[in-house]
């Protein structure tokens, strides 16, 4: 931020217009605006809203799905940020949490994944150890879509 601020101060010598442009560039865009799919019909954006416990799946600028999710319960975290899928596991079982089933897992940040859960009554409220949990049918739909379009064409945006 200091670097950006010094650039804005330096731009003042160039005039008001340059300062305004650099200030606009320095302002961080909300996660919902960071990724646009408007000109990329194959690009998938999966937006996880932790505060609303909801996932929205978009492709080519169109909303395809909105599903309730469960993210981290008290004392755990679901890290915010923008990610791309790292690997897939159709019938994964947790090596960290008592061999718990994690069907249709899309791993995006180390041990963090989007996956199905059989604890569907908890969807819509925090209940996981950090992963993003979905209804198993929603997880299957998402898994097949992302797998078919590829990791490079998919972005996962987790926002608080």
Active site residue 149: no
> What letter does residue 71 receive in the DSSP assignment?
-
Active site residue 131: yes
The CA distance from 38 to 30, in Å, is: 17
Considering 92, 115, 135, 149, which one is annotated as catalytic?
115
SS3 121: helix
The candidate with the shortest Cα–Cα distance to 46, out of 85, 78, 102, is 85
Per-residue pLDDT tens for 100-116?
A: 888 999 999 999 999 99
Structural domains of the chain in order of their starting residue, each with its CATH number: 1-31 (no CATH), 35-159 (2.40.440.10)
Per-residue pLDDT tens for 26-56?
A: 333 344 444 554 456 689 999 999 999 999 9
> Would you state the pLDDT for residue 39?
52
Per-residue pLDDT tens for 80-92?
A: 999 999 999 998 8
Considering 92, 131, 135, 149, which one is annotated as catalytic?
131
The CA distance from 53 to 123, in Å, is: 8
Total-model pTM: 0.75
CA dihedral sign, ordered 106, 110, 112, 117: positive
């Amino acid at each position: 931020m200091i670097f950006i601020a010094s650039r804005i101060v330096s731009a003042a010598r160039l005039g008001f217009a340059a300062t305004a442009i650099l200030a606009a560039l320095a302002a961080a865009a909300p996660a919902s605006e960071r990724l646009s799919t408007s000109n990329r019909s194959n690009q998938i954006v999966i937006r996880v809203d932790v505060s609303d416990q909801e996932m929205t799946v978009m492709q080519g600028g169109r909303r395809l799905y909105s599903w309730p999710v469960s993210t981290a319960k008290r004392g755990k975290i679901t890290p915010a940020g923008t990610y791309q899928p790292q690997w897939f596991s159709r019938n994964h079982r947790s090596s960290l949490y008592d061999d718990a089933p994690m069907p249709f897992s899309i791993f995006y940040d180390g041990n963090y994944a989007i996956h199905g859960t059989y604890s569907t009554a908890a969807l819509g409220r925090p209940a996981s150890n950090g992963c993003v949990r979905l209804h198993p049918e929603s997880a299957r739909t998402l898994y097949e879509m992302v797998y078919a379009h590829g990791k490079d064409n998919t972005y996962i945006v987790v926002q608080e």
